[in-house]
């Protein structure tokens, strides 16, 4: 048999009722006031006393005009009267003396069901408003600096490529025109100069690609399978040359992502899998996807040289490479681009690896459904 619940004592006496009402009023973090319909203060809490810097005994019984600055009194009086007459609660936001107040005004009925009081709850939202304003400013600042960076990357890539082309072509000209007077060492130096210019050109192009990735919160459903297909077509030559096998054991799902960026993402990961292959076996790349809540988790696994765990974070940073360019071509931007693409779509990218055995890159993207 369930035990009978103790009856909650009702505030039988007026004193108890008053104590309860006072406790409730003071529990609120809003300045709380109870007015007569013509604007006389019947009760208030400690927050109001603090806000006005006056004692409760000095406030009770006073008219609105004695509590608030003249510029708001007429309005306040109208609102209190209107709520008492219509019985419809109202909500007003006002700014006074540089502070922001969020006010809710409710009718209060007596035991006959007649509205004879009006309750006002006034929340000081200044801190929250300030906080939001600061966040808005930061966001604007970030957007501005992103736009500047993008503009800079565009100008840099455009304008830097021109003098680079000039360096390359004059070095080539030098090599051709003075072929018979240049010795082997001079030709070697010229080769380094040309290579340097070419590498810089690739860096500039990759940097531009990195800067061009935009946030995509509105992306349409994109079939990941099609993006992979396109990426593999772009890598056809490297796949053929390395003798790689690419496995996609189950059909890949649709995700909310920009189709072009999806292609770049898969292309970067698969091309790394081919580039960082183990010397003693042809590359094997396996692409799969698994549902994880409202996301899909993709995996691009390879049987390559692997990565030591201490470098797991570093490789996603711009220009960070674990291999010199003379052993493996590259600019160190591919994984930064991949991370930016995934994160701009609201996903996450990480990896697991066993050095000498292979690496698995994981990333999540929002499911299309």
Q: What would the two tokens of residue 184 be? A: 């082997």
3-state helix, strand, coil in the chain (%, to 5): 50, 20, 30
* Least separation in angstroms between CB 229 and ligand ADP: 20
Q: Which stretch binds ligand ADP (CB under 6 A): 25-33, 189-197, 230-238, 323-331?
A: 323-331
Choose which of 45, 261, 272, 303 interacts with ligand ADP (CB under 6 A): 272
Total binding residues toward ligand ADP, as defined by CB under 6 A: 21
Q: Per-residue DSSP letters for 267-332? A: HHHHHHHHHT--TTS--EEEEEEEEETTEEEEEEEE-SS---GGGTTGGGSTT--SS-TTTS---S
* Least separation in angstroms between CB 121 and ligand ADP: 55
**CB atoms closer than 10 angstroms to residue 205:** 14
Residue 19: its H or E element? helix 14-27
Site for ligand ADP in 334-353 (CB under 6 A): 334-336
Site for ligand ADP in 229-258 (CB under 6 A): none
Choose which of 276, 296, 298, 363 interacts with ligand ADP (CB under 6 A): 276
Number of H helices and E strands in the chain, helices first, is: 11, 12
Name the 3-class secondary structure at 113.
coil
* Least separation in angstroms between CB 197 and ligand ADP: 18
The C-alpha atoms of residue 156 and residue 146 are separated, in whole angstroms, by 15
Q: Taking CA 97 as the corner, what is the angle to CA 93 and CA 99, rounded to the nearest 5 degrees?
A: 50
* Least separation in angstroms between CB 174 and ligand ADP: 30
* Least separation in angstroms between CB 308 and ligand ADP: 10
The C-alpha atoms of residue 84 and residue 120 are separated, in whole angstroms, by 12
The nearer residue to ligand ADP, 129 or 312, going by C-beta atoms, is 312
The nearer residue to ligand ADP, 80 or 335, going by C-beta atoms, is 335
Q: Which stretch binds ligand ADP (CB under 6 A): 73-81, 142-150, 231-239, 265-273?
A: 265-273
Contact present, 137 and 48 (Cβ < 8 Å): no
* Least separation in angstroms between CB 26 and ligand ADP: 60
The nearer residue to ligand ADP, 182 or 322, going by C-beta atoms, is 322
The interface mask with ligand ADP, positions 288-317, x = CB under 6 A, is --------------x-xxxx-------x--
Contact present, 281 and 369 (Cβ < 8 Å): no
The C-alpha atoms of residue 264 and residue 339 are separated, in whole angstroms, by 11
* Least separation in angstroms between CB 356 and ligand ADP: 11
Q: Where are the alpha helices (DSSP H) in 178-247?
A: 184-211, 224-234, 236-242
The nearer residue to ligand ADP, 102 or 209, going by C-beta atoms, is 209
Name the 3-class secondary structure at 99.
strand
Does 331 help bind ligand ADP (rule: CB under 6 A)?
yes
Residue nearest to ligand ADP (CB): 330
Does 330 help bind ligand ADP (rule: CB under 6 A)?
yes
* Least separation in angstroms between CB 359 and ligand ADP: 4
* Least separation in angstroms between CB 325 and ligand ADP: 8
Q: What would the two tokens of residue 229 be? A: 């297909």
Q: What would the two tokens of residue 105 be? A: 């005004």
Contact present, 352 and 359 (Cβ < 8 Å): yes
Q: Which stretch binds ligand ADP (CB under 6 A): 146-154, 161-169, 231-239, 331-339?
A: 331-339
Name the 3-class secondary structure at 161.
helix
Among 311, 315, 347, 348, smallest CA distance to 334 is for 315
The nearer residue to ligand ADP, 120 or 285, going by C-beta atoms, is 285
* Least separation in angstroms between CB 210 and ligand ADP: 10
Choose which of 54, 199, 321, 344 interacts with ligand ADP (CB under 6 A): 321
Site residues (vs ligand ADP, CB under 6 A): 268, 272-273, 276, 302, 304-307, 315, 321-323, 330-336, 359
């Amino acid at each position: 048999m369930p035990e009978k619940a103790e009856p909650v004592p009702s505030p039988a006496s007026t004193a108890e009722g008053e104590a309860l009402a006072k406790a409730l009023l003071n529990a609120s973090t809003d300045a709380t006031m109870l007015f007569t319909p013509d604007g006389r203060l019947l009760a208030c809490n400690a927050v109001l006393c603090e806000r006005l810097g006056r004692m409760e005994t000095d406030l009770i019984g006073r008219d609105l005009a004695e509590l608030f600055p003249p510029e708001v009194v007429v309005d306040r009086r109208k609102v209190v009267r209107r709520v008492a007459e219509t019985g419809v609660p109202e909500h007003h936001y006002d700014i006074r003396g540089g502070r922001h107040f969020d006010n809710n005004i409710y009718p209060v009925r007596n035991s006959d069901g007649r509205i004879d009081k009006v309750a006002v709850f006034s929340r000081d939202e200044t801190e929250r408003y300030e906080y939001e304003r600061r966040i808005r400013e930061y966001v604007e600042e970030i957007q501005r600096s992103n736009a500047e960076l993008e503009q800079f990357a565009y100008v840099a890539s455009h304008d830097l490529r021109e003098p680079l082309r000039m360096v390359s072509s004059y070095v080539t000209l030098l090599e051709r025109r003075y072929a018979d007077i240049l010795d082997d060492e001079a030709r070697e130096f010229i080769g380094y100069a040309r290579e340097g210019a070419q590498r810089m050109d690739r860096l500039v192009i990759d940097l531009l690609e990195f800067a061009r990735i935009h946030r995509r919160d509105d992306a349409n459903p994109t079939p990941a399978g099609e993006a992979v297909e396109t990426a593999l077509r772009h890598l056809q030559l490297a796949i053929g040359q390395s003798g790689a096998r690419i496995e996609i054991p189950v059909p890949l799902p649709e995700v909310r992502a920009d189709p072009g960026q999806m292609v770049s993402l898969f292309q970067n990961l698969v091309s790394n899998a081919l580039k960082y292959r183990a010397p003693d076996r042809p590359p094997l790349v396996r692409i799969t996807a698994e549902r994880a809540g409202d996301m899909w988790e993709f995996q691009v696994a390879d049987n390559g040289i692997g990565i030591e765990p201490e470098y797991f974070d570093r490789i996603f940073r711009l220009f960070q490479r674990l291999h010199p360019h003379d052993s493996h071509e590259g600019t160190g931007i591919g994984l930064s681009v991949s991370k930016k693409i995934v994160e701009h779509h609201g996903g996450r990218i990480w990896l697991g690896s066993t050095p000498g055995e292979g690496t698995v890159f994981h990333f999540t993207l929002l499911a299309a459904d």
